[in-house]
Amino acid sequence: MTYDLDHAKWYSSNRKCLMVIKGSIEDSIRDSIPECTTATEYLKKVESLFTGSLKAYASTLIKKLVNEKYTGGGIREHILRMSNTTSKLKLMDLGLKDEFLIHLIFASLPKEYETFVVNYNL
């Protein structure tokens, strides 16, 4: 008798959890996830679906960092933008050394900042 009551409570809780999880996911993503009977199984499928996209996101951030060029405006904002991209990579355990970030920042600057680069290297 207690098993049946516990099972009924678990079933109700599991069904509610699945509804909350599915309700918080975008429709286009939800349609690509196969149906599951438990909330735990559903979350594992969601996790496996996004593991590959995390690697693609890291690759996109690295390409953005390497190809970043100063286009005008504030130099401070340019440096902060590149530093912010690096901090996102650190969260994924792909952090860059500060010296390498400085090299990338200097490489992204136009010729008119060459004296700044030379003075830093002295």
- Pair 121, 72 in one domain: yes
Residue 62 resides in a domain: no
| CA–CA gap between residue 32 and residue 21 (Å, rounded) | 14
- Pair 5, 44 in one domain: yes
Count up the domains in the chain and report the number. 2
Q: How confident is the model at residue 69 (pLDDT cuts 50, 70, 90)?
A: very high
pTM over 0.85: no
Print the domain residue range for 42: 1-52
**Burial level of 37, CB count in 10 A (0-12/13-18/19+)?**
exposed
- Pair 43, 75 in one domain: no
| CA–CA gap between residue 50 and residue 44 (Å, rounded) | 10
Asked if residue 79 has pLDDT above 60, the reply is: yes
Q: How confident is the model at residue 122 (pLDDT cuts 50, 70, 90)?
A: very low
Tens digits of per-residue pLDDT, 8-50? Answer: 999 999 999 999 999 998 887 888 888 899 999 999 988 887 7
- Pair 76, 47 in one domain: no
